[in-house]
Amino acid sequence: MVADLSDPMVPSPFCLQKVRKETYDTFTLELEPANGADGFPFAAGQFNMLYAFGIGEAPLSISGDPAKPQTLVHTVRAVGAVTQAICRLKRGDVLGVRGPFGNHWPMEEAVGSDVVIVAGGIGLAPLRPALYYLLSNREKYGRIAVIYGARTLEDLLYKPELEQWRSQFDLDVDVTVDTAPASYRGNVGVVTTLIPRARFDPFHAVALVCGPEVMMRFTVRELESRGVDPENIFISLERNMRCGIGFCGHCQFGSAFICKDGPVFCYAEIQPFFAKREI
């Protein structure tokens, strides 16, 4: 039996199985359907609405492996009432899940190309499923470059996995932080400074970018100046959401709804709105 998510407005109960502290304010949660049903399939880049009972709902990207849908994985940064309540949950606690919603990263379209993943801060969470997918289908893609930036070493997500990815010969992983103690042997500088050095063919590459908007703006500029076509740059956007399914209009962005037409957008299509404030 698959978890019943047939009414997109009714949350299904999921039970918290495991919590891992990633940073001082960010946690990765593993959830399973509370009624013993199977998990539900999802595509890399999609999100769920997670409901902390009695408090409210928040859109959160799925950060687990699309090939392992039984366990639903989310990485949550506690910034306000809902996300703080979600991060306070303990093993065995139940929360409501609606989803999966939205579109996904263009994994099929990227077949045969190099893929460059650029993530900033919590932006690595929605990109991790894409990386899992690429690694499970490694032979279908050219070079894979992962460029990940965070404020400090303490702010890096998925540290054990990052180490493992860095040791893989079929993947280039570059991590950078804004400042570090002198004993640090890794890279220091903003994420955009790694783009000119990353190993991929800009004329045959698809770029997947996620992070705060200002970081994505500068990243896109850097990718373009390396020669990546805006048609091949994809970014994941965030706006306040309520329904998650294109009814309420809360997440409007230009003529699109981020929950339904996004959250992943081809940069060439949203270029006119992207740099504008207030949209």
Ligand X SMILES: Cc1cc2nc3c(=O)[nH]c(=O)nc-3n(C[C@H](O)[C@H](O)[C@H](O)COP(=O)(O)OP(=O)(O)OC[C@H]3O[C@@H](n4cnc5c(N)ncnc54)[C@H](O)[C@@H]3O)c2cc1C
By CB under 6 A, name the binding residues for ligand FES: 241-244, 246-251, 257, 259
Q: How far apart are CA 21 and CA 26, in angstroms?
A: 6
Q: How far apart are CA 86 and CA 23, in angstroms?
A: 15
Minimum distance of ligand FES from residue 49's CB (angstroms):
9
What is the contact mask toward other proteins in residues 75 to 114, using x (rule: CB under 8 A)?
----------------------------------------
257 interface partner picked from other proteins, ligand FES, ligand X, none, CB below 5 to 8 A per type = ligand FES
Q: For 11, which DSSP code?
A: P
Among 41, 112, 186, 227, binds other proteins (CB under 8 A): 186
* SS3 per residue for 234-273: EEECCCCCCCCCCCCCCCEECCEEHHHHCCEEEHHHHHHH
At position 225, the amino acid (one-letter code) is: S
Which residue in this structure is represented by tokens 């013993």?
36
What is the contact mask toward ligand X in residues 121 to 160, using x (rule: CB under 6 A)?
-x--xx----------------------------------
CB neighbours (10 Å) of residue 80? 11
Which residue in this structure is represented by tokens 């890096």?
156
249 interface partner picked from other proteins, ligand X, ligand FES, none, CB below 5 to 8 A per type = ligand FES
SS3 177: strand
Among 19, 140, 204, 218, binds other proteins (CB under 8 A): 218
SS3 205: strand
Binding site for other proteins (CB under 8 A): 120-123, 149-151, 155, 176, 178-182, 184-193, 196-197, 211-215, 218, 238-240, 278
